[in-house]
Amino acid sequence: MPLQIYIAGKLYDKEDAKISVYDHGLLYGDGVFEGMRSYSGKVFRLAEHLDRLWDSAQAIWLTIPMTKEEMAKAVYDTLKVNGIEDGYIRLVVTRGAGSLGLDPNRTSNPQVIIITDHIALYPREYYEKGLELVTASTMRNHPAALSPRIKSLNYLNNILAKIEGLKAGCVEALMLNHKGEVAECTGDNIFLIAKGELLTPPIDAGILEGITRNAVIDIARDAGITTREISLTRYDVYVADECFLTGSAAEVIPVVKVDNREIGAGVPGPITQDLIRRFHELTRK
Ligand code: PXG
């Protein structure tokens, strides 16, 4: 059976899973999304992902036409039909089809889409040897213009930075905020280890409040590692002992080079490796 995709309460074969070209999700990037993972049939931090999806929708005046409980059930039903235990889940809620023109009042029926698929992992080598990053010249959206806390379908800010990374031979790129501070990467949050402490930019640096980020902060605190959310500059990155990224897709992944400079010893650090092990224990028990 082909992969089944959920759209507005019905399941469709992957090839037939389509929405209108008049949907404002396509015409204007008017909608919100989530990317999450399931491990052994259980969705990691589903409640947190649903809370964030509902908050993103609220922030753009979009009413999701179902309850969180109904969405959770639809996610599990879709995983089950596709026989996926360890996978990737994409939730999308669009503004719905309407007439041409920005006015969301002229749309009807927000579309809820649930894609469950097998996860396309970064090659194993990256986890063992670590990633290289470059700083993108594209700055993170100004939080007073379009809040990076909204996980909206308007991801061009991140995509432009991602292209810069790829052109430089890097799979991720570091993004700075309007003040020149370290914000995050295009689809991952960033952490440093300096003098034994775990450091990461605060939410008001203009970043997405990553669910993996929050899980890693909890893990580190439980492990007795001093953890601080403080504003960071590239200086802090360059002099750090260790660096790693977090995200639903990437999980926890070491970074060994930024802007052609080796970070620490230029290999995945011991605290990073310990946190990766603890994260695996949390997700794969
Ligand atoms: N920053 C940004 C800008 C993101 O988009 C993260 C940080 C990490 O957040 P989580 O909650 O995942 O720890 C994200 C997440 C995809 C994809 O398919 C994107 C994300 C996550 C999973 C898949 O592009 N972005």
How confident is the model over 137-171, as pLDDT tens digits? 999 999 999 999 999 999 999 999 999 999 999 99
Query: Atom 5 of ligand 1 has which residue's CA nearest to it?
Result: 187
Mapped onto helix, strand or coil, the DSSP state of residue 51 is: helix
Tokens representing 231 are: 């504003």
**pLDDT band for position 284 (cuts 50, 70, 90):** confident
105: exposed, middle or buried (Cβ count in 10 Å: 0-12, 13-18, 19+): exposed
Instruction: Report the separation in Å between the CA atom of 35 and the middle of ligand 1, taken as the mean of its atom positions.
Output: 6
Q: Which of 208, 216, 282 to mutate to test ligand 1, by most ligand atoms within 8 A of the CB atom?
A: 208
Q: Identify the pLDDT of residue 119.
A: 86
Burial of 35 (0-12, 13-18, 19+ CB in 10 A): middle
Phi, psi angle pair for 284, to nearest 5°:
-115, 30
Q: What is the model's pLDDT at position 121?
A: 78
Task: Provide mean pLDDT across the span 54-77.
Answer: 98
pLDDT for res 258: 98
Residue 285 has pLDDT above 80, yes or no: no
Which CATH number describes the domain made up of 4-117?
3.30.470.10
Structure confidence by residue, pLDDT tens digits, 102-125? 999 999 999 999 999 998 778 999
Assess contact for 245 and 188: CB atoms under 8 A: yes
Domain 124-283 has CATH 3.40.50.620: no
Assign 3-class secondary structure to 74-94: HHHHHHHHCCCCCEEEEEEEE
* pLDDT beyond 80 at 79: yes
Look at residue 73 and give its three-state secondary structure: helix
Pocket test for ligand 1, best of 38, 50, 149, 248 (most atoms within 8 A of CB): 248
Per-residue tokens: 115: 């894609």
Q: Supply the residues annotated as catalytic.
A: 151
Is the pLDDT at 93 greater than 80? The verdict is yes
249 lines ligand 1 (CB under 6 A): yes
Give residue-wise pLDDT tens across range 22-41.
Answer: 999 999 999 999 999 999 99
The predicted pLDDT at position 136 comes to: 98
Q: Where are the domains of the chain?
A: 4-117, 124-283
pLDDT in tens, 59-68: 999 999 999 9
Determine the distance separating the centroid of ligand 1 and the alpha carbon of 75, expressed in angstroms.
18
Residue 19 identity (one-letter amino acid): I
Mean pLDDT of the chain: 97
Q: Ligand 1 centroid vs 156 CA: distance in angstroms? A: 14
